[in-house]
Amino acid sequence: MEKIITARSQSQLLLHKVLRNTYFLLGLTLAFSAMTATASIVFSLPAPGFLLTLIGFYGLMFLTHRLADRPIGILATFAFTGFLGYCLGPILSRYLSNGMGETIAFALAGTALVFFCCSAYVLTTRRDMSFLNGMLMTGFVVLLVAVIANLFLQLPALQMTISVLFILFSSAAILWETSNIVQGGETNYIRATVSLYVSIYNIFLSLLNLLGFASRND
C-alpha cells in the first residue's frame, strides 16, 4: 500500500511539474513572439514569403522536437516562436496601417478566452480527451486539402471557412494536448509548449482574418 501511495504521489508531482513548466515556458515564448512581432513592425521588416515561411516553420519545429529532450531544446523553442512572431509582424502592420488596431485587440482577447476555456475545462474535469485523436487527424487532412485548394481558387468564402475550421481544429488540439499532459501521456514540457503555442497562434490568425473580413465589409 505504501508503495502504491508513493508511486501515486510521484505521478502527481511529475504532472504538476510538467504543467508548471509548460505554462511558464508558454508564457515566455508568447512574450518573446510579441517582442519579435513588435520589432518587425517598428523596423518595417519584410514578410519572409510563403516558401521561406514554410521552410522556417517546419524546419524549426522539426529541430525543436528533435532537441526536446535536451536543455538546448529551449533555445530551439525560442527560435521557432520568435520566427513565427517575426512572420506575424508584417500582417499586423497591414491591419494597423488600415486603422484596424481594434480588430487586433479583439482577436487577442478572443484567443485568450478560447485558450482559457479549453484549458480550464480539462484541468477542472480531468476528462480524457484522447477520443479527439482520430478527429484531429481527419481535420488536419481536410484543412490541408482546403488550404491547397484556396491557393489556386482564392475564394473569400473558402478562406473564411478555412479560418473557422482552423479555430475548431486548434481548440480541439488544446483540449487534446492539455488532456494528454493531465493523463500522463506527455511528460516533455517543450513538446507540450510547442503544441499549445501553435494552436494559440493559429486561433489568433484565424480570428484576425475573420474579424478583419467582417470589418472591411461593414
Contact indicator for 15, 123 with CB cutoff of 8 Å = no
Question: How many other C-beta atoms can be found within 10 angstroms of the C-beta atom of residue 194?
Answer: 26
User: Does the pLDDT of residue 3 top 60, yes or no?
Assistant: no
In residues, how long is the chain? 218
Q: How far apart are the first and last CA of the chain?
A: 66
User: Does the pLDDT of residue 149 top 80, yes or no?
Assistant: yes
Taking residues 158-181, report their average pLDDT: 94
Q: Scanning the structure block, which residue is given the C-alpha cell 491557393?
A: 151
What pLDDT digit, counting tens, does each position of 64-89 carry?
999 999 999 999 999 999 999 999 99
**Environment class of 66 (CB within 10 Å of its CB; exposed 0-12, middle 13-18, buried 19+):** exposed
The domain spans of the chain are 2-216
DSSP state of 47: P
Distance set, CA 30 to CA 69, 111, 173 (Å): 21, 12, 18
Percent of the chain with pLDDT over 70: 93
What pLDDT digit, counting tens, does each position of 40-68 carry?
999 989 988 888 998 999 999 999 999 99
Report pTM: 0.92
Q: Which three cell numbers stand for residue 11?
A: 505521478
Q: What is the rounded CA–CA span in Å between residue 61 and residue 192?
A: 12
